[in-house]
Amino acid sequence: MAQSTSQSSSLNQAEGTWLLPSNRKLRNLVSISLRNISLADPCPSRSRSKAIDDDALPQTLKSPAKLVALREQKALGHSRSSTDLHAVLEEAATHSAATDEAVVNGSPVAGEQKQRTPGAALDSPRRPEFKRLRRRSTIEWANATPQKRQERLENMTKERMADVFFSVHVKCVEEPVYVSETVQKTMNPTFRHIAWLNCGPGVTRRKELSLRVWARGAKLGSWQQLLHLKLELSALQYLGRSLDDLDRSLPQNAVLFHMIDGIYTSFSDSLSDYGPPGPDSSQRKKTAASQRSLPTSSFDALLRLSKLDDSIQDALATRDQLAHGLEVLLQNNRQALCERDEVAETEDRLMTIDYAKKTVEKQLEKAQKQQEEKRQSLSVRRRLMKTDSVLRGAIAKKMRQDRSDSYTSRDEHDATRRAVQNQRRRVCEDIQRCYPIETVDGKTLGFSIRELHLPNSEDLDLEQPEVVSAALGHVAHVLQLLAFYLKQNLPYPVIPRGSNSTVYDPISLLQHNSRSASANAEQTLRTYPLFSKSVPRFRFEYAVFLLNQDIRVLLESAYNLRVLDIRQTLPNLKYLLFVATAGEGELPARKAGGVRGLMRVPALERSGSQDSTASGMSGLTLIGNGKPRGAADRLREISGKGKNAVPV
């Protein structure tokens, strides 16, 4: 123990480590990595850091394995493979093997051993059983296809791969203090840096730890514990700053601890086999080699080695002779072989030319078909173009004939449009006279229609309900007339009935508790009153809102005007009538007999009737002194309220 500690300290000083063995704590551990993972138990007969087929290395010229192979009694044969050598126990005892070897080889050493007394054999300890080496056949590999070889190599590699993770445990803590991530399909996993932030000083200041490595291979369906190490950080062995300084291979399932000052590990062997070479390593090797006692070879071993060398030389000579014979045979028949190759190339070229010929014929046939189709398409296009040319000529001739009439039609259209606009102005002026909208003294933005004051939508309670409903009925009637004369559809149709007017909403339906699904019930629910008596308040307010929406839609759709405040009902309606009556020139006079019901038609009148007499008298008042009267005066005259009303 003292010797290993001194060696470790000398290596630390040689490499310039920062930490003393007593100062290594868990907080100095940066990460952990594994090398040469093996899920199966290693072969006990295989020596560590020695390859199976390393016969060419100088240190294996006189290995015990070769001495055992030289003592085999089997005849010399050709080697079928040089890979994957397996060891087998000797079938016979050591004494019988030595006797048979003396009979076959005639060795004097064996004769002397035969003449030895049995007592001497009993006095000397019995040598351990040796193992002979047998080679496995790989002819199946030699004759396999590259795909098969690749598949076998992948299967072999897959069997060695494994999914690995580790956990770190300390005493007095039941759960692991750290669990790493899982590295999949690897033989040499390198894990991430360990984060000790979640661990307290009671864990990070410890020197001992328990490391458990878990693995899951391709053949294993579940996780298995691969390693369980209980160690102290002070007993770790230093390897160097990095693995590049290591000149020897690591054993199976080697665990490397990456500290802040370098890489450490824990070996069961001495540190001199794996530690970094020091400045006097070569001198120590020479001293160890001089002090080592090497065993010498026997005469039988040298004789068998000589026979083996002769057999190898004979095999090499036979190989060279066969190669020379094959070369001479090829040289003698070179002309015939060349002609055979030329014939094969010519046949291949002819087949290629024949295939190209058939391909060109198919392309030619396809091109001819396309040419015929294009010719037919062109002929059809020519006929269509000719027909279209004749039609365009006729249309152009007609356009030249109608061009002179287009100016006249355009002037007539403009005149008609102006006349319609002027008639609309006159009609709107008559509506404004029938339903005058005037300001109310002492009230800002206060207006009345036919002397009925109508506040805005928020102050409807300032007037009596009868006055408000009557004013809203007048507004509904005005909107219906304007929509008719301006040819604009109202989104919410109004039904003017005086103080019992209503508004219909075909777009939305308010929530209700009634479960009736009939058409009449739905129409009733969509009809909202413009009066507040005997109806829910919210339906009356919603009806006023729909009425204001109709005014806004008329302004925007007919005149592209924007409403500033939708709650001002009468100001917005006054603005609409003002814009509708605006225009250039005087208002046109109403044509006589414009309204058929106001005309006197003798053929259709009921003679002797008071109604017909009143109608006839009213028809005479349409034109008085050549001056047309307003629509309001005529309506008053018909209803009997005018100054010149005809008594009934």
Query: What is the reported pLDDT for 495?
Result: 94
Q: What is the mean pLDDT of residues 521-541?
A: 90
Q: How far apart are CA 277 and CA 274, in angstroms?
A: 9
125-to-82, 112, 118, 121, 347 alpha-carbon distances in Å: 35, 18, 13, 8, 80
Give the per-residue pLDDT at 300: 87
SS3 of the chain: helix, strand, coil, percent, to 5: 50, 15, 35
For 127-150, give the DSSP string.
Answer: PPPPEEEEPPP-HHHHHS-HHHHH
Q: Which tens digits make up the pLDDT trace of 142-163? A: 677 888 888 888 888 887 889 9
The H or E element that residue 342 is part of is: helix 334-434
State the pLDDT at residue 143: 73
Asked if residue 542 lies in contact with residue 528, where contact means CB atoms within 8 angstroms, the answer is yes
Q: What is the 3-state secondary structure (H, E, C) of 477-546?
A: HHHHHHHHHCCCCCCCCEECCHHHCEEECCCCCCCCCCCCCCHHHHHHHHEEECCCCCCCHHHHHHHHHH
Say what the pLDDT of residue 395 is: 94
State the pLDDT at residue 377.
Answer: 95
At 418, is the pLDDT very low, low, confident or very high (cuts 50, 70, 90)? Answer: confident
Q: What is the mean pLDDT of residues 350-372?
A: 95
pLDDT of residue 435: 93
pLDDT of residue 44: 47
- Band (pLDDT 50/70/90 cuts) for residue 15 is low
Q: Which helix (H) or strand (E) holds 304?
A: helix 299-332
Residue that wins the pLDDT comparison between 89 and 412? 412
Q: Quick one: pLDDT at residue 83?
A: 43
Average pLDDT over residues 283-293: 50
pLDDT digits (tens, 9 = 90+) for 166-204: 999 999 888 999 999 999 989 899 999 998 988 888 898
Neighbours of 473 (CB within 10 A): 23
178: phi then psi, degrees, rounded to nearest 5: -155, 135
Q: What is the pLDDT of residues 429-460, one digit of tens each?
A: 999 999 999 998 888 888 999 989 999 888 88
pLDDT score of 215 more than 60: yes
Averaged pLDDT, 453-477: 91
Q: Give the C-alpha separation, 423 to 428, whole Å.
A: 9
First-to-last alpha carbon distance for the chain, in angstroms, is: 145
pTM, 2 dp: 0.36
So what's the pLDDT on residue 459? Answer: 86
pLDDT in tens, 259-287: 998 999 987 544 444 444 444 444 554 55
What is the SS3 assignment for 634?
helix
pLDDT at 126: 53
Lowest mean pLDDT among 83-97, 266-280, 298-312, 461-475: 83-97
